[in-house]
A and B are shown apart, each in its own frame.
Chain A
Amino acid sequence: MEYFLTEQQKTMKALARRIAEERVLPVRAELDEKEEFPWAIMKDLADSDLFRIFVPEQYDGLGGGSLDLCLVVEELSCVCSAVAVSYAATALGAYAILLYGSEEQKQKYLPQIAAGKLAAFGLTEPTAGSDASNIKTTAQKTPEGYILNGTKQFITNGGEADIYTVIALTDKTKGARGASAFIVEKGMPGFTFGKKEKKMGIRASSTRELVFRNCLVPADNLVGREGAGFIVVMRVLDYSRPGIGAQAVGICQGALEAAVDYTRQRIQFGQPLISLPVVQQMLANMDIKTEAARALVYSVAKTIDSGAKSFTEESAMAKVFASDMAMQVTTDAVQVCGGAGYMRDYPVEKMMRDAKITQIYEGSNEVLRNAIAIELRKRKGRTA
């Protein structure tokens, strides 16, 4: 389908695809098997300037927008969504600084990220998943800076990233309005990591706890003002959700292609599977779902790029729809590939295992649907 990409966007997409095919494809099964973080590929992405896409030009970036980021994430995800999410999570970690950081913070951290230093976003805790405001990590203000205490859970790129945007309570009495955002660097005393989680999918991605025990963070590392923590969170997630949508679209595409390849050459009942109507129906539905998800994600990305002031609802839609489609498309892909599809030698089972998380993280689809409904309820008159 024609999405009217600019020349620049087509170039980025082609380069991301090339990296995916030449550097990711040969090793994706092994990375998944060994649960090994794709450092070499992160370096390839950095060397090809792909981390510069989401950083403004004045900070050594290329000043790209949301759609640019989605195109790259989708191409990487088509081959391996664990690699894609390691890249996308850096953008997520960078967004707080991009949107709310001071000039000093931007000048200090953004060039590093543009050059390929990985970042991560620390919000979720054992007591706070969907109930994000139920966080318990505290940041106590002292003359020397803020002292952080607490534990973050299930953090993508945890342990591998150098730069972390962390949400902690500066005022426990104010509930959600008492949270603030901080930049914490790996190596700051009192900041350690918990064990690496063993996951169902995106196994090459590193997921760890962030453990803060009297971790002293310079006062300069407060992002935005005290108490604005959840405003930062909401906005950051609005920007990053299309990226997860793109990750899901990539998974759909990869699964669809693998399913079509397989059914073309697998002969049963004297003909290739793809000749059988029941298979054709399934593949057609997979194709429709993939394209619909892509169209929605790209439209939302373009909306953001057009300078829209608020896009919470749209951003949530992109993520919810694409992730649900990814789960459906991959499940059908395994089904259509039959016994072979269940074997780890064939890529679709990994894609199905990978797809599940996209319905859960960055706002579970249930929470996001609630949020969309609340918007609907608020609305008076027509918006479209």
Chain B
Amino acid sequence: MKWLGNNWDQVLVALGEHIVISFTALAIAFFLSLVIGILAARSERVFRWAIAFTGFLYTIPTLAFLALLIPVVGLGRANAIICMVAFSLMIMIRNVAIGIREVPADVVDAARGMGMRGIDILAMIELPLALPVIVAGLRIATVTVISVAVVAAYINAGGLGTLIFSGISNDFAPKIWVGGLTSCALAVAADLSLARIERWLRHRAD
């Protein structure tokens, strides 16, 4: 890989950009889905509406979504991050809500019996116990977000996609290979690490 040898700095910059926007989007999605997910856990109506709406967002093709945002937020990172957050919400809200609901009722009752307030029960019992399921959702969201970020390079958000598009623009295969394989590797690595964390959390919860 002669090209890679001479241009690894370009690849690292692209990788760095990719990780930054992905992480930012995931963090935002995480917080949004916590808030909405907690509400959805308590109310069947909220759950159904939230899932229906975010499910609709998820079905929109990536490039179409990015394109639809152009008149609103223009090009670049902000556009990409909004898209990534939108795509992550369904799975994360669903998993937060389901995770909380699956906490055994008697555990919650016992806590209430001990005089704990609602917010403490949430923070110290329900959320920690729901963590494995939440992380399972985070895992899928992470892979989704990395995938979107690859396409987002087209609207100038930076990231590994720039290598792919540049390689296609110049009909230069090595760039396509490096960009393509690195983004695959990043997605797989993220998936495996989160799978590990998920397994550890489940093991700990038993």
Are A and B bound to each other? no
B contact set with A: CB distance below 8 Å: none
